[in-house]
Structure formats: structure tokens, C-alpha cells
Amino acid sequence: MNIKVVLVDDHKLIRQGLYSMIEKEKDITVVAQASNGREAVRLVDELNPDVVILDINMPDLNGIDAAKLISKNSNTKIIALSIHATRRFVTGMLHAGAVAYLVKQCAYEELANAIRAVADNKSYLSPQIHDVVVSDYAANLFKDEDSFLSILTLREREVLQLVVEGVKSEDIAARLFVNIKTVSSHRTQIMKKLNIKSVAELTRLAISEGLISADY
């Protein structure tokens, strides 16, 4: 069986390195690459790969929200690949539908094994992740955290990320295939739910909660 993979990371050098490693495996083929979560969702929908490898901190649509959309609309297995090994990111990705989580420090040695495992309907966790998962299990791993993000809908999270990345309302509308009035309505709801008055405050919260990275 040849395992079809979509590779998603906003850093071109990392994608190139992962691609070179994966292509050495005779039973695994990278069928497409993407640099953001929204492009990943589109490619999964078009190509129906066996596995998608997602970074977490990406522009336009982050890995957690991309994973939610992918798991909702396809049977593609999701592997999270991140520099983060903290509870918030691990539980966020697993809750969103990822069946494997690897940290980038060891990805080159483990990634091929993880791809084969998830393609065979198994899960896979980097050793650094085991302690996070086990210690959190008794407290209900998949329970939503008491986070400001938990009160937002997935679409509101999408709009929030684009707003704090500085995308104009008309461009947000075009990307989400809605009209500008709908975008404005979402912005109003976000501000109301979070009791926030400015984009600067939204940006600080989005960074603190891991919705976007501090680089944006």
C-alpha cells in the first residue's frame, strides 16, 4: 500500500527537509504541500490523502482549527507536528482530531513510523508527549479548557485569526466565501463575547492562547 500524504508547514525549509526524508520511504508519497491551514483544508478536500501532517502555528488558519475542519469533513488521518510540547497545544490538537503528535526535534527519526501507524488506524505520540497525556488523563483530556477561545464558534475563531493578522474585512469575506456584513457581524460578536474593545487587545489574547504566534 502506498500512503498518500499532504505536508503542511509555513516554513519552506522545514517542508523541504521533511519532504526529502519522506520521499526516501518506498511506501509513502507526498502528493501535495501547503503553507497554511486553509490551503491544507482545501488540498485534503480535493485529494483525499491518507494522512495530513499539520504544524500548529500557521498564518490564515492555525493547525488546531484546520484539524477541526479536516476531521469534520474527511477520513484523512491527522498528524500534529510542532515545536510545542505543552498541555494546551497537545490537548488542543488531540481534541481537534489529531491521532498522532510529534515534536519537531525528533520528527526526522519518528515521522515515517508515525505515518505508517496512523495509516494503519493506530495512534502515535512522541516520547516527550506521553507524560503530558498521561498526567492529564485523569482530569479528562478532551474537556474544553476554561479559555476565552472556548466561548467562540469555529467560524468566529477563523475570523479572529484573520483579523489579528491584519487581513481586511473584504479579504476575510472572500476567503471564507461570505459577505462583508457577515464578517462585521462576527467581529461584533467576538468583541462582545470577549468584552474587548480593540484589535490590539484581541491580538494579545490570541497570542497568549496560542491561536497565533508572536511572529505575526
Q: Coil, strand, or helix at residue 193? A: helix
Measured distance CA(7)–CA(32) in Å, rounded: 6
pTM for this entry: 0.77
Position 16 scores a pLDDT of 92
Residue 51 has phi, psi (to 5 degrees) of: -140, 140
Query: Looking up cell 526529502, which residue turns up?
Result: 20
Position 132 scores a pLDDT of 64
Position 141 scores a pLDDT of 45
Mean pLDDT by 10 residues, the chain (216 residues): 94 92 93 96 97 94 95 95 86 91 80 94 84 56 57 90 91 93 92 86 80 66
Position 78 scores a pLDDT of 97
Measured distance CA(1)–CA(124) in Å, rounded: 19
Position 136 scores a pLDDT of 56
Position 214 scores a pLDDT of 63
* Vertex 214 angle, CA 38 and 178, to 5°: 30
Could you tell me the domains of the chain?
Answer: 3-137 (3.40.50.2300), 148-208 (1.10.10.10)
Burial class (CB in 10 A: 0-12, 13-18, 19+), 188: exposed
Provide the greatest CA pair distance for the chain: 54
